[in-house]
Amino acid sequence: MNILFLGDVVGRSGRDAVVKYLPPLRKEWALDFVVVNGDNAAGGFGITGQICRDFFDAGADVITGGDHIWDQKDIVPYISQEKRLLRPANFPEKTPGNGHILVAKNGRKIFVLHLLGQVFHKEHADCPFSNADRLLEPVRLGVQVDAIIVDFHAEATSEKTAMGQYLDGRVSMVVGSHTHIPTADARVLKGGTAYQTDAGMCGDYDSVIGFEKTGPLEKFLSKIPKFGKLEPAAGAATLCGLLMETDEKTGLAKSCKPVQFPQALSG
């Protein structure tokens, strides 16, 4: 299978790029499954039901969130009904929504698991490692399911790297989200799991992690914690993510490569 993960969508620029480019990319790259992280899609903070519908219409099969999943007021009733929008699985048991989903598509079964890191995050989240063990135990790769994708929304590169090594050989892909900068370590680990510490963002890179430069710069220069409102940058967006091909028998990764579309960031 050809599976694409797209990193954090930031603001209108990122949304427009996903809606514009994803439909033709599904055909050109013969994509079987697409996961989009939408944690910053609505003005840089969270996601709305309408944005989710736009992404699904464009070809997303599953949307993941992160630490900003609750920022938009309409998302609680929406996520309670829409199983394809995931919040982190290691939130408390009574939290609305789901942190994982099993999707049956074209005769294949794909399991998507969404986890939130604990290092540097203020939100109360249970241990992502023990939750991964618990939730993956009944869906063994190559037996019950054909592919397993893990979106680990975390701040610390060490925690993300540890998760990749911990799940190596048990899942098809472990990909990091949240920090908005694509890391240069996309590879297939020894056990056969595709890995990248952070997929990067889908947004305007002439910015500070997707936001118009003035606000963040003034905050750093003045040391005033809340210096004005952060606004997403509005320039042309680059889609960043991780593209993986799986082995049809084992479900492990045959290959993977970072995506920067329509232009490479180094160009």
**How open is the CA angle 116-118-122, to the nearest 5 degrees?**
95
Residue with tokens 């949240």: 178
Strands 85-86 and 62-64: parallel
For the sheet containing 147-153, what is the strand order?
A: 100-105, 108-116, 147-153, 173-177, 194-196, 187-188
Which residues contact residue 230 at a Cβ distance below 8 angstroms, ignoring those fewer than 6 apart? 44, 211, 212, 215, 216
Instruction: State the Cα–Cα distance between residues 45 and 60, nearest whole angstrom.
Output: 20
Q: Give strand pairing partners of 109.
A: 104
Neighbours of 73 (CB within 10 A): 9
What distances in angstroms separate CA 140 from CA 52, 83, 109, one per listed residue?
29, 21, 11
Which residue in the list 68, 114, 121, 178 is annotated as catalytic?
68
CB-CB contact of 168 with 193 (8 Å): yes
Q: Is 68 a catalytic residue?
A: yes
Structure tokens at 259: 């995506």
Residues annotated as part of the active site: 68
